[in-house]
Amino acid sequence: MPTEILMPALSPTMEEGTLAKWLVKEGDTVASGDIMAEIETDKATMEFEAVDEGVIGKIMVEAGTEGVKVNTPIAVLLGEGESASDIGTAAKAAPAGGPAAAVPPAPSSADGSRIFASPLARRIAAEKGLDLAQIKGSGPHGRIVKADVADATPAAATAPAKADSPAPAAAAPAKAAMATGPSADQVARMYEGRDYEEVALDGMRRTVAARLTEAKQTIPHFYLRREVQLDALMAFRADLNKQLEARGVKLSVNDFIIKASAMALQAVPGCNAVWAGDRMLQMKASDVAVAVAVEGGLFTPVLKDAHLKSLSALSAEMKDLAGRARNKKLAPHEYVGGAMAISNLGMFGIENFDAVINPPHGSILAVGAGIKKPVVGKDGDVKVATVMSMTLSVDHRVIDGALGAEFLREVVSLLENPVTMLA
């Protein structure tokens, strides 16, 4: 029976998307890994790859269609020996607006997370009694495809995931978040007679609104503030940049903040944790997310294993991630995860601010501008120093006050003694 190609969930928060462009047409032969379409998600425009081989028998959703729900059929793939005349049979077998009845629903693993498998692979697995949670996918981004299940037997599957793994916290639906406050009509009536332009919300702005509304409504925030003297860091950075100039490397203050935060998470491991609904996940590696402003919203690309990377490696990786974030070319795995985030508005002249935690992170560090101001030294003398304000927003369910203060003290110590970051 022909296989329906469904609208994919290309990001963890995606509920619907725009089928921006088809790169194949009816009658084209595709193989696993071929790019079939460009889809605009709630975060970016991404390429959609084929996960099975076959012939495009029918395109069911035209290019440019907005609001296509995840798991809606968008095309039909014909397998070996099948023809366009078989498509009607598949359509009759399918419930209205849904996938073919012969294709089992998208499965979930023991920890509640979605298992990515093609419809054909799901159907074969169901026929053979295979547990997809025990099969390692060889398709794009680990997706399970036909080849993975064709010769598999239940005994050949890999060990299942631990049954006691916690389920990730579910994101609040965007519609629920959008429903808070006065309705659109009520707000419009308040401004009746005034000149304004109505701006429709795109997927990214809807997602930002939903997640930050959820964060402020559900996360018990508290705030810890510290100032750090940057003079030693600025001198150390200038010296390093002079030595690295021949390699084309130029370190920013933000690179040092990322490194200091990653090392502080190792020194204070209780802060290297995230909230997971009914428990916490204590992370081992320091994965640090960094907020990047883009047109219409923001991304938080994640620098994984940041405590193990050199300053120059972090600098290069951050530049790459930020550049692709601004072009909306990041893959979902590049902006999902991390135990904490950093939001730096110092380059805009903001001296201090409080950032909103991005769930499921346990904290976010808000960084202001370095400002020259008088300070009292240890010997009692007054001198002028470059001082930067930092505010740590903390999820009290994960991190208590003393623990958060210990983490912030460690960050300040590393920034004021930057040579220790090279030890």
Q: What is the pLDDT of residue 88?
A: 65
Please give the backbone phi and psi of residue 420, each rounded to the nearest 5 degrees, phi first: -70, -20
User: Is the per-residue pLDDT at 397 higher than 60?
Assistant: yes
- Mean pLDDT, the chain, integer: 83
| CATH 1.20.140.10 applies to domain 3-156 | no
Q: What is the pLDDT of residue 137?
A: 79
The tokens describing 55, both together, are 């012939």
CA dihedral sign, ordered 71, 74, 77, 82: positive
Confidence of residue 361 (pLDDT cuts 50, 70, 90): very high
Q: How far apart are CA 286 and CA 289, in angstroms?
A: 10
Nearest by Cα to 56 from 34, 77, 31: 77
The tokens describing 108, both together, are 């979930």
Which position has the token pair 């640090």? 288
- For the stretch 4-29, pLDDT in tens is 899 988 776 678 888 989 999 999 99
396 catalytic, yes or no? yes
Q: Which residue would you say has higher pLDDT here, 344 or 157?
A: 344
Q: What is the pLDDT of residue 158?
A: 45
Query: Is 170 within 8 Å of 138 (Cβ atoms)?
Result: no
Q: What is the pLDDT of residue 384?
A: 93
The three-point CA angle 362-365-367 to 5° equals 170
Q: Which residue would you say has higher pLDDT here, 84 or 262?
A: 262
Confidence of residue 281 (pLDDT cuts 50, 70, 90): very high
Query: Is 366 within 8 Å of 393 (Cβ atoms)?
Result: yes
In the chain, which segments carry CATH 3.30.559.10?
A: 220-422
In the chain, which segments carry CATH 2.40.50.100?
A: 3-156
Question: Quick one: average pLDDT of 402-421?
Answer: 96
User: Is the per-residue pLDDT at 49 higher than 70?
Assistant: yes
Q: What is the pLDDT of residue 94?
A: 43
Which range (85-99, 358-372, 378-392) has the least confidence?
Answer: 85-99
User: Is the per-residue pLDDT at 160 higher than 80?
Assistant: no
Q: What is the dihedral of CA 405, 407, 410, 416, to 10 degrees?
A: -70
Question: Quick one: average pLDDT of 77-83?
Answer: 81
Query: Is 276 within 8 Å of 166 (Cβ atoms)?
Result: yes
Q: What is the pTM of this model?
A: 0.66
Q: What is the pLDDT of residue 93?
A: 37
- For the stretch 286-329, pLDDT in tens is 999 999 998 878 889 999 999 999 999 999 999 999 999 888 88
Span 220-422 CATH architecture: 2-Layer Sandwich (3.30)
Nearest by Cα to 274 from 321, 208, 340, 371: 340
Q: What is the pLDDT of residue 100?
A: 38
- For the stretch 197-248, pLDDT in tens is 888 877 778 878 888 888 989 999 999 999 999 999 999 999 999 999 999 9
Residue of 141, 221, 307, 396 marked active site: 396
